[in-house]
Structure 1
Amino acid sequence: MPDHQYMTYEDFGRKFFEVAVTEERVGEAIGQIAGDAFEMGPMGQGPGGLAKVTAHVKVQTPRVKRHVGEMITFSIRIPLEIDMVVDLRIDKPRFVVFGEISLRASALAAEPLLLILDVKKPRASDISIHVTSKTLRAEVVRIIGNIDSEIKRFIAAHVAGEIDSPESQQAKVIPVGDMIDESWNGLSADR
Protein backbone atom coordinates (compact mmCIF):
# COMPACT_ATOMS: atom_id res chain seq x y z
CA MET A 1 0.00 0.00 0.00
CA PRO A 2 1.42 3.44 -0.90
CA ASP A 3 2.50 5.82 1.84
CA HIS A 4 -0.33 8.10 2.95
CA GLN A 5 -0.24 10.94 5.37
CA TYR A 6 -2.95 9.98 7.84
CA MET A 7 -5.07 12.45 9.81
CA THR A 8 -7.68 12.34 12.54
CA TYR A 9 -11.37 12.12 11.74
CA GLU A 10 -11.76 15.66 13.08
CA ASP A 11 -8.99 16.96 10.80
CA PHE A 12 -10.54 15.07 7.88
CA GLY A 13 -13.92 16.71 8.55
CA ARG A 14 -12.41 20.17 8.70
CA LYS A 15 -10.37 19.59 5.55
CA PHE A 16 -13.48 18.25 3.80
CA PHE A 17 -15.36 21.49 4.55
CA GLU A 18 -12.47 23.65 3.40
CA VAL A 19 -12.21 21.75 0.10
CA ALA A 20 -15.96 21.27 -0.49
CA VAL A 21 -17.26 24.74 0.36
CA THR A 22 -15.41 27.06 -2.03
CA GLU A 23 -16.18 30.60 -3.14
CA GLU A 24 -17.03 29.28 -6.60
CA ARG A 25 -19.52 26.68 -5.35
CA VAL A 26 -21.18 29.14 -2.97
CA GLY A 27 -21.35 31.74 -5.75
CA GLU A 28 -23.04 29.19 -8.00
CA ALA A 29 -25.59 28.27 -5.30
CA ILE A 30 -26.33 31.94 -4.55
CA GLY A 31 -26.71 32.63 -8.27
CA GLN A 32 -29.33 29.88 -8.47
CA ILE A 33 -31.18 31.32 -5.48
CA ALA A 34 -31.02 34.93 -6.78
CA GLY A 35 -32.02 34.11 -10.36
CA ASP A 36 -31.33 36.30 -13.40
CA ALA A 37 -34.05 38.95 -13.17
CA PHE A 38 -37.29 39.93 -11.48
CA GLU A 39 -40.01 42.57 -11.77
CA MET A 40 -40.99 45.11 -9.14
CA GLY A 41 -44.36 46.81 -8.92
CA PRO A 42 -46.36 48.58 -9.76
CA MET A 43 -46.00 50.08 -6.28
CA GLY A 44 -47.93 53.16 -5.18
CA GLN A 45 -45.59 55.94 -4.01
CA GLY A 46 -45.77 59.52 -2.82
CA PRO A 47 -48.79 61.32 -1.36
CA GLY A 48 -51.79 59.00 -1.58
CA GLY A 49 -49.79 56.45 -3.57
CA LEU A 50 -50.54 58.49 -6.68
CA ALA A 51 -47.29 57.63 -8.47
CA LYS A 52 -46.91 54.02 -9.67
CA VAL A 53 -43.37 52.64 -9.73
CA THR A 54 -42.42 49.66 -11.88
CA ALA A 55 -38.95 48.24 -12.39
CA HIS A 56 -37.10 45.45 -14.16
CA VAL A 57 -34.21 44.18 -12.02
CA LYS A 58 -31.29 42.34 -13.66
CA VAL A 59 -29.25 40.26 -11.23
CA GLN A 60 -25.53 40.07 -12.04
CA THR A 61 -23.02 37.35 -11.08
CA PRO A 62 -22.47 37.19 -7.29
CA ARG A 63 -19.03 37.99 -5.90
CA VAL A 64 -18.10 35.79 -2.94
CA LYS A 65 -15.32 36.13 -0.36
CA ARG A 66 -14.68 33.20 1.97
CA HIS A 67 -13.49 33.68 5.56
CA VAL A 68 -11.93 30.61 7.15
CA GLY A 69 -11.87 30.68 10.94
CA GLU A 70 -13.52 28.53 13.57
CA MET A 71 -16.46 28.59 11.14
CA ILE A 72 -16.34 29.01 7.39
CA THR A 73 -18.34 32.11 6.51
CA PHE A 74 -18.92 34.10 3.34
CA SER A 75 -19.43 37.73 2.41
CA ILE A 76 -21.54 37.86 -0.74
CA ARG A 77 -22.18 40.83 -2.97
CA ILE A 78 -24.78 40.62 -5.73
CA PRO A 79 -24.69 43.52 -8.23
CA LEU A 80 -28.02 44.73 -9.64
CA GLU A 81 -29.01 46.82 -12.62
CA ILE A 82 -32.50 48.30 -12.46
CA ASP A 83 -34.56 50.05 -15.16
CA MET A 84 -37.32 51.95 -13.38
CA VAL A 85 -40.31 54.02 -14.49
CA VAL A 86 -42.46 56.25 -12.28
CA ASP A 87 -45.92 56.71 -13.78
CA LEU A 88 -47.27 60.11 -12.68
CA ARG A 89 -50.20 59.93 -15.15
CA ILE A 90 -49.00 63.15 -16.80
CA ASP A 91 -45.38 62.09 -17.14
CA LYS A 92 -43.36 58.88 -16.89
CA PRO A 93 -39.82 59.69 -15.80
CA ARG A 94 -37.27 56.88 -16.24
CA PHE A 95 -34.44 56.07 -13.86
CA VAL A 96 -31.37 53.90 -14.12
CA VAL A 97 -30.39 52.33 -10.82
CA PHE A 98 -27.21 50.45 -10.03
CA GLY A 99 -27.18 48.59 -6.76
CA GLU A 100 -25.75 45.80 -4.71
CA ILE A 101 -27.12 43.32 -2.20
CA SER A 102 -24.81 42.33 0.66
CA LEU A 103 -25.45 38.88 2.11
CA ARG A 104 -23.76 36.78 4.78
CA ALA A 105 -23.66 33.00 4.85
CA SER A 106 -22.13 30.19 6.90
CA ALA A 107 -21.27 26.59 6.06
CA LEU A 108 -22.80 24.29 8.69
CA ALA A 109 -22.78 20.56 9.37
CA ALA A 110 -25.95 18.72 10.42
CA GLU A 111 -27.26 15.22 11.13
CA PRO A 112 -27.23 12.67 9.59
CA LEU A 113 -24.48 13.87 7.21
CA LEU A 114 -25.56 17.17 5.67
CA LEU A 115 -23.68 20.24 4.52
CA ILE A 116 -25.88 23.33 4.87
CA LEU A 117 -25.30 26.79 3.44
CA ASP A 118 -27.07 29.09 5.92
CA VAL A 119 -27.82 32.37 4.10
CA LYS A 120 -28.98 35.27 6.25
CA LYS A 121 -31.87 37.34 4.92
CA PRO A 122 -30.92 40.88 3.92
CA ARG A 123 -32.30 43.98 5.56
CA ALA A 124 -32.98 47.19 3.62
CA SER A 125 -29.69 48.50 5.05
CA ASP A 126 -27.88 45.62 3.25
CA ILE A 127 -28.96 47.07 -0.11
CA SER A 128 -27.00 49.94 -1.62
CA ILE A 129 -28.22 51.79 -4.70
CA HIS A 130 -27.22 54.68 -6.93
CA VAL A 131 -30.11 56.29 -8.82
CA THR A 132 -29.67 58.48 -11.90
CA SER A 133 -32.29 60.34 -13.89
CA LYS A 134 -32.22 62.72 -16.84
CA THR A 135 -34.59 65.44 -15.67
CA LEU A 136 -35.04 67.74 -12.71
CA ARG A 137 -38.69 66.67 -12.46
CA ALA A 138 -37.61 63.05 -12.11
CA GLU A 139 -35.20 63.97 -9.30
CA VAL A 140 -37.94 65.86 -7.46
CA VAL A 141 -40.31 62.88 -7.83
CA ARG A 142 -37.58 60.57 -6.53
CA ILE A 143 -36.96 62.68 -3.43
CA ILE A 144 -40.60 63.48 -2.60
CA GLY A 145 -41.69 59.89 -3.18
CA ASN A 146 -38.83 58.48 -1.05
CA ILE A 147 -38.28 56.07 -3.93
CA ASP A 148 -34.73 55.03 -2.89
CA SER A 149 -35.98 53.65 0.43
CA GLU A 150 -38.86 51.83 -1.23
CA ILE A 151 -36.52 50.19 -3.76
CA LYS A 152 -34.26 48.95 -0.95
CA ARG A 153 -37.21 47.68 1.08
CA PHE A 154 -38.76 45.87 -1.88
CA ILE A 155 -35.47 44.24 -2.96
CA ALA A 156 -34.75 43.09 0.61
CA ALA A 157 -38.25 41.58 0.87
CA HIS A 158 -37.93 39.90 -2.55
CA VAL A 159 -34.54 38.35 -1.73
CA ALA A 160 -35.78 37.19 1.70
CA GLY A 161 -38.70 35.49 -0.06
CA GLU A 162 -36.33 33.79 -2.51
CA ILE A 163 -34.12 32.56 0.36
CA ASP A 164 -37.23 31.01 1.98
CA SER A 165 -38.58 29.42 -1.22
CA PRO A 166 -38.73 25.61 -1.36
CA GLU A 167 -36.26 25.54 -4.27
CA SER A 168 -33.74 27.64 -2.32
CA GLN A 169 -34.20 25.55 0.81
CA GLN A 170 -33.37 22.48 -1.25
CA ALA A 171 -30.36 24.16 -2.95
CA LYS A 172 -28.87 25.11 0.46
CA VAL A 173 -28.76 21.50 1.77
CA ILE A 174 -26.24 19.03 0.34
CA PRO A 175 -26.90 15.42 1.46
CA VAL A 176 -23.27 14.25 1.66
CA GLY A 177 -24.23 10.83 3.04
CA ASP A 178 -26.49 10.15 0.04
CA MET A 179 -23.74 11.25 -2.34
CA ILE A 180 -21.25 8.89 -0.67
CA ASP A 181 -23.79 6.04 -0.89
CA GLU A 182 -24.30 6.70 -4.62
CA SER A 183 -20.56 6.86 -5.22
CA TRP A 184 -19.87 3.74 -3.16
CA ASN A 185 -22.62 1.80 -4.92
CA GLY A 186 -21.23 2.95 -8.25
CA LEU A 187 -17.83 1.52 -7.31
CA SER A 188 -19.42 -1.81 -6.34
CA ALA A 189 -21.29 -2.00 -9.64
CA ASP A 190 -18.06 -1.42 -11.61
CA ARG A 191 -16.40 -4.49 -10.11
Structure 2
Amino acid sequence: MTETDDVAVAVPASPASMTFADFGEAFLRKVVHRRRVLEVVERVLGEKIELGPIGAGPGRKFARVHATGWFQPMSGVEIPGPDIAFRVIIPVDVDFAIEIARDVNRFRARLLVPVTVKLRLEPPLDLMVDVVLPEEDEVSLQVETDKRRSAVLQRVAGLETELRRFMMRVMEKEFAKPHIQRIMRIDLLQLVDDSWPHLVDRLLPDDPPPHHDPGAEAPADLL
Protein backbone atom coordinates (compact mmCIF):
# COMPACT_ATOMS: atom_id res chain seq x y z
CA MET A 1 0.00 0.00 0.00
CA THR A 2 1.39 3.36 -0.95
CA GLU A 3 1.13 6.47 1.20
CA THR A 4 -1.83 7.54 -0.87
CA ASP A 5 -3.68 4.24 -0.81
CA ASP A 6 -5.59 5.11 2.38
CA VAL A 7 -6.43 8.66 1.36
CA ALA A 8 -10.03 9.16 0.30
CA VAL A 9 -10.26 10.98 -2.97
CA ALA A 10 -13.31 13.26 -3.23
CA VAL A 11 -15.23 12.62 -6.40
CA PRO A 12 -17.51 15.46 -7.48
CA ALA A 13 -21.12 14.37 -7.22
CA SER A 14 -23.08 14.38 -10.42
CA PRO A 15 -25.92 16.91 -10.39
CA ALA A 16 -29.26 15.27 -9.76
CA SER A 17 -31.32 14.94 -12.89
CA MET A 18 -35.00 15.85 -13.06
CA THR A 19 -37.89 14.82 -15.24
CA PHE A 20 -39.42 17.15 -17.77
CA ALA A 21 -42.58 17.20 -15.65
CA ASP A 22 -40.57 18.27 -12.59
CA PHE A 23 -38.80 20.90 -14.66
CA GLY A 24 -42.10 22.32 -15.93
CA GLU A 25 -43.61 22.59 -12.47
CA ALA A 26 -40.44 24.09 -10.97
CA PHE A 27 -40.26 26.58 -13.83
CA LEU A 28 -43.82 27.79 -13.31
CA ARG A 29 -43.52 28.00 -9.53
CA LYS A 30 -40.34 30.08 -9.76
CA VAL A 31 -41.47 32.32 -12.63
CA VAL A 32 -45.07 32.92 -11.56
CA HIS A 33 -44.52 33.41 -7.85
CA ARG A 34 -46.69 35.12 -5.25
CA ARG A 35 -45.29 38.64 -5.65
CA ARG A 36 -45.80 38.63 -9.40
CA VAL A 37 -49.37 37.38 -9.03
CA LEU A 38 -50.10 40.24 -6.62
CA GLU A 39 -48.56 42.76 -9.01
CA VAL A 40 -50.78 41.55 -11.87
CA VAL A 41 -53.96 41.73 -9.76
CA GLU A 42 -53.03 45.22 -8.54
CA ARG A 43 -52.47 46.44 -12.10
CA VAL A 44 -55.73 44.91 -13.30
CA LEU A 45 -57.82 46.65 -10.63
CA GLY A 46 -56.00 49.98 -10.64
CA GLU A 47 -56.19 52.46 -7.78
CA LYS A 48 -59.90 53.10 -7.19
CA ILE A 49 -63.43 52.23 -8.19
CA GLU A 50 -66.73 54.08 -8.24
CA LEU A 51 -69.79 52.33 -6.82
CA GLY A 52 -73.23 53.58 -7.70
CA PRO A 53 -75.36 55.40 -7.40
CA ILE A 54 -77.49 52.42 -6.45
CA GLY A 55 -80.89 52.17 -4.86
CA ALA A 56 -81.19 50.66 -1.40
CA GLY A 57 -83.83 49.94 1.20
CA PRO A 58 -87.41 48.79 0.54
CA GLY A 59 -87.95 48.48 -3.19
CA ARG A 60 -84.48 49.95 -3.66
CA LYS A 61 -86.16 53.36 -3.69
CA PHE A 62 -85.87 54.35 -0.04
CA ALA A 63 -82.28 55.60 -0.36
CA ARG A 64 -79.55 56.16 -2.89
CA VAL A 65 -75.96 55.17 -2.24
CA HIS A 66 -72.82 56.41 -3.94
CA ALA A 67 -69.34 55.23 -2.98
CA THR A 68 -65.71 55.57 -3.96
CA GLY A 69 -63.29 52.81 -3.06
CA TRP A 70 -59.48 52.79 -2.99
CA PHE A 71 -57.59 49.51 -3.30
CA GLN A 72 -55.02 49.01 -0.57
CA PRO A 73 -51.84 46.86 -0.66
CA MET A 74 -52.84 43.26 -1.24
CA SER A 75 -51.61 40.12 0.46
CA GLY A 76 -51.63 36.52 -0.62
CA VAL A 77 -50.40 33.02 0.01
CA GLU A 78 -49.81 30.00 -2.17
CA ILE A 79 -52.46 27.35 -1.65
CA PRO A 80 -50.83 24.03 -0.67
CA GLY A 81 -51.44 21.15 -3.03
CA PRO A 82 -50.42 19.73 -6.39
CA ASP A 83 -51.94 22.64 -8.32
CA ILE A 84 -50.35 26.08 -8.54
CA ALA A 85 -52.84 28.48 -6.99
CA PHE A 86 -52.86 31.54 -4.78
CA ARG A 87 -55.32 33.06 -2.33
CA VAL A 88 -55.25 36.84 -2.71
CA ILE A 89 -56.89 39.18 -0.19
CA ILE A 90 -57.93 42.52 -1.70
CA PRO A 91 -58.61 45.28 0.84
CA VAL A 92 -60.76 48.21 -0.28
CA ASP A 93 -61.27 51.38 1.76
CA VAL A 94 -64.63 52.86 0.84
CA ASP A 95 -66.16 56.29 1.42
CA PHE A 96 -69.88 56.14 0.78
CA ALA A 97 -72.85 58.43 1.16
CA ILE A 98 -76.46 57.49 1.80
CA GLU A 99 -79.06 59.98 0.62
CA ILE A 100 -82.49 59.70 2.26
CA ALA A 101 -85.00 62.42 1.37
CA ARG A 102 -82.13 64.81 0.48
CA ASP A 103 -80.43 64.16 3.80
CA VAL A 104 -76.92 62.84 3.12
CA ASN A 105 -75.05 60.71 5.65
CA ARG A 106 -71.42 59.78 5.03
CA PHE A 107 -69.65 56.61 6.14
CA ARG A 108 -66.33 54.84 5.87
CA ALA A 109 -65.98 51.11 5.41
CA ARG A 110 -63.34 48.44 4.81
CA LEU A 111 -64.04 45.54 2.48
CA LEU A 112 -61.88 42.43 2.24
CA VAL A 113 -62.36 40.51 -0.98
CA PRO A 114 -60.74 37.04 -1.20
CA VAL A 115 -59.85 35.98 -4.75
CA THR A 116 -58.34 32.69 -5.93
CA VAL A 117 -55.84 32.75 -8.81
CA LYS A 118 -55.12 29.38 -10.44
CA LEU A 119 -52.53 28.45 -13.07
CA ARG A 120 -52.93 25.63 -15.56
CA LEU A 121 -51.57 24.59 -18.95
CA GLU A 122 -53.35 24.07 -22.26
CA PRO A 123 -51.96 22.77 -25.55
CA PRO A 124 -49.91 23.56 -27.44
CA LEU A 125 -47.98 25.49 -24.77
CA ASP A 126 -50.29 28.07 -23.20
CA LEU A 127 -50.26 29.19 -19.58
CA MET A 128 -53.81 29.87 -18.42
CA VAL A 129 -54.63 32.15 -15.48
CA ASP A 130 -58.05 31.55 -13.92
CA VAL A 131 -59.44 34.11 -11.46
CA VAL A 132 -62.18 32.79 -9.19
CA LEU A 133 -64.19 35.51 -7.47
CA PRO A 134 -65.75 34.80 -4.08
CA GLU A 135 -69.37 34.38 -3.19
CA GLU A 136 -71.00 37.52 -1.79
CA ASP A 137 -71.08 36.16 1.76
CA GLU A 138 -67.29 35.62 1.62
CA VAL A 139 -66.71 39.38 1.29
CA SER A 140 -66.02 40.99 4.65
CA LEU A 141 -67.57 44.44 5.19
CA GLN A 142 -66.95 46.54 8.28
CA VAL A 143 -68.55 49.97 8.55
CA GLU A 144 -67.32 52.68 10.90
CA THR A 145 -70.34 54.21 12.63
CA ASP A 146 -71.45 56.14 15.65
CA LYS A 147 -74.90 55.83 17.24
CA ARG A 148 -76.55 58.31 14.88
CA ARG A 149 -75.11 56.75 11.74
CA SER A 150 -75.87 53.27 13.07
CA ALA A 151 -79.55 54.24 13.26
CA VAL A 152 -79.41 55.38 9.63
CA LEU A 153 -77.92 52.07 8.53
CA GLN A 154 -80.64 50.15 10.35
CA ARG A 155 -83.24 52.07 8.35
CA VAL A 156 -81.62 51.07 5.05
CA ALA A 157 -82.33 47.35 5.10
CA GLY A 158 -80.00 45.18 3.05
CA LEU A 159 -77.43 47.90 2.44
CA GLU A 160 -74.42 45.72 3.27
CA THR A 161 -75.69 43.01 0.92
CA GLU A 162 -76.10 45.59 -1.85
CA LEU A 163 -72.57 46.91 -1.34
CA ARG A 164 -71.11 43.40 -1.47
CA ARG A 165 -73.13 42.57 -4.58
CA PHE A 166 -72.12 45.78 -6.30
CA MET A 167 -68.46 45.18 -5.48
CA MET A 168 -68.68 41.75 -7.09
CA ARG A 169 -70.23 43.23 -10.24
CA VAL A 170 -67.44 45.79 -10.47
CA MET A 171 -64.73 43.14 -10.14
CA GLU A 172 -66.44 40.84 -12.64
CA LYS A 173 -66.53 43.74 -15.10
CA GLU A 174 -62.85 44.55 -14.55
CA PHE A 175 -61.62 40.98 -15.07
CA ALA A 176 -63.87 40.55 -18.12
CA LYS A 177 -62.32 43.43 -20.07
CA PRO A 178 -60.79 42.26 -23.38
CA HIS A 179 -57.24 43.46 -22.64
CA ILE A 180 -57.36 41.67 -19.27
CA GLN A 181 -58.68 38.47 -20.83
CA ARG A 182 -55.76 38.50 -23.27
CA ILE A 183 -53.20 38.25 -20.47
CA MET A 184 -55.12 35.35 -18.95
CA ARG A 185 -53.73 33.18 -21.77
CA ILE A 186 -49.96 33.42 -22.20
CA ASP A 187 -48.43 31.74 -25.24
CA LEU A 188 -45.14 30.50 -23.76
CA LEU A 189 -43.75 29.42 -27.14
CA GLN A 190 -44.35 32.86 -28.60
CA LEU A 191 -42.84 34.42 -25.47
CA VAL A 192 -39.64 32.39 -25.94
CA ASP A 193 -39.52 33.16 -29.68
CA ASP A 194 -39.77 36.88 -28.95
CA SER A 195 -37.07 36.70 -26.27
CA TRP A 196 -34.68 34.36 -28.11
CA PRO A 197 -32.64 37.00 -30.02
CA HIS A 198 -32.05 38.96 -26.81
CA LEU A 199 -31.11 35.75 -25.00
CA VAL A 200 -28.58 34.80 -27.66
CA ASP A 201 -27.07 38.31 -27.63
CA ARG A 202 -26.67 38.05 -23.87
CA LEU A 203 -25.12 34.57 -23.83
CA LEU A 204 -22.79 34.85 -26.81
CA PRO A 205 -19.88 37.34 -26.90
CA ASP A 206 -19.83 40.06 -29.53
CA ASP A 207 -16.35 39.03 -30.75
CA PRO A 208 -15.88 35.25 -30.55
CA PRO A 209 -12.27 34.05 -30.21
CA PRO A 210 -10.55 33.09 -33.50
CA HIS A 211 -10.86 29.47 -34.49
CA HIS A 212 -7.66 27.47 -33.95
CA ASP A 213 -6.92 24.50 -36.16
CA PRO A 214 -4.61 22.06 -34.32
CA GLY A 215 -3.43 20.63 -37.64
CA ALA A 216 -2.35 23.92 -39.12
CA GLU A 217 1.37 24.65 -39.41
CA ALA A 218 2.90 26.92 -36.82
CA PRO A 219 3.98 30.38 -37.96
CA ALA A 220 7.54 30.53 -39.19
CA ASP A 221 8.69 32.84 -36.43
CA LEU A 222 7.71 30.19 -33.84
CA LEU A 223 9.78 27.42 -35.44
Q: Same fold (TM over 0.5)?
A: yes
- CA RMSD between the two structures: 1.9
Q: Which runs of 4+ in 1 moved over 6 A?
A: none
- Residues of 2 paired with 1:79 and 1:187: CA distance? 39
Equivalent of residue 111 in structure 2, options 86, 99, 102: 99
State the Cα deviation string for residues 45-71 of structure 1 (Å, max 9, x = none).
123413110000111122110124210
Quick one: structure 1 residues 94 and 75, their matched pair in 2 at CA, closer, same or farther if it must change by over 3 Å? same
TM-score, structure 2 as length reference = 0.77
Q: 1 or 2, which has the higher helix percentage? A: 1
* Residues 3-12 or 160-169, more deviating: 3-12
Given residue 169 of structure 2, which amino acid in structure 1 is its aligned partner?
A
Report the counterpart of residue 147 of structure 1 in structure 2. Answer: 159
2:46 maps to 1:35: yes
Report the counterpart of residue 128 of structure 1 in structure 2. Answer: 140
- Residues of 1 paired with 2:21 and 2:93: CA distance? 44
Report the counterpart of residue 121 of structure 2 in structure 1. Answer: 109
- Residues of 1 paired with 2:114 and 2:197: CA distance? 41
Aligned residues: 188
Q: 1 or 2, which has the higher strand percentage? A: 1
2:185 maps to 1:173: yes
Given residue 20 of structure 2, which amino acid in structure 1 is its aligned partner?
Y
TM-score, structure 1 as length reference = 0.89
**Could you say which structure has the greater relative contact order, defined with CA pairs below 8 angstroms and 6 or more residues apart?**
1
Q: Can you give the 5+ residue segments of structure 2 that lack an aligned partner in the other structure?
A: 1-13, 205-223
2:21 maps to 1:10: yes
Identity across matched positions, percent = 27
How far off is 1:27 after superposition? Answer: 0.4
How far off is 1:144 after superposition? Answer: 2.6
* Residues 159-168 or 73-82, more deviating: 159-168
Where 1:181 maps in the other structure, the secondary structure is helix
